[in-house]
Amino acid sequence: MECLRISVFLAIVLSIVPEQASAGTPVQRLSADAMHECALGRQAHTRAERIHHFALGQAFGEEAVEQDESSPDAHFALFCNLGEQLRIDGESLTSFFGFRRMMKELNRTLELAPDHLDALSAKGTVLVRIPGIMGGDKEKGERLLRHVIAREPAAVNARLSLAKSYCDGGRHDEAVDMATKALDLAQALRRLDFIPEAREVLSQLRARASKGN
Interior angle at CA 186, CA 209 and CA 126, nearest 5: 65
* Residue 130: inside a domain: yes
* Residue 19: inside a domain: no
Report CA-CA distances (Å) from 92 to 9, 72, 154.
7, 26, 27
pLDDT band at residue 193, thresholds of 50, 70 and 90?
Answer: confident
* Longest Cα separation, the chain: 54
Cβ count near 67 (within 10 Å) = 14
The per-residue pLDDT for range 148-182, each reduced to its tens digit, is 999 998 999 999 999 999 999 999 999 999 999 99
* Residue 18: inside a domain: no
Q: What percent of the chain has pLDDT over 90?
A: 68
- As to burial, measured by CB atoms within 10 angstroms (0-12 exposed, 13-18 middle, 19+ buried), residue 172 is buried
Residue 208's domain comprises 26-212
Q: Under a CB-based contact definition with an 8 Å cutoff, are residues 86 and 122 in contact?
A: no
- The domain total for the chain is 1
* Residue 3: inside a domain: no
* Residue 189: inside a domain: yes
Mean predicted confidence (pLDDT) in 50-62: 97
* Residue 109: inside a domain: yes
Mean predicted confidence (pLDDT) in 93-120: 90
* Residue 17: inside a domain: no
Question: pTM of the entire structure?
Answer: 0.84
Cβ count near 171 (within 10 Å) = 18
Q: What CATH code is carried by the domain that includes residue 134?
A: 1.25.40.10
* Residue 160: inside a domain: yes
Helix then strand then coil, in percent of the chain rounded to 5, is: 70, 0, 30
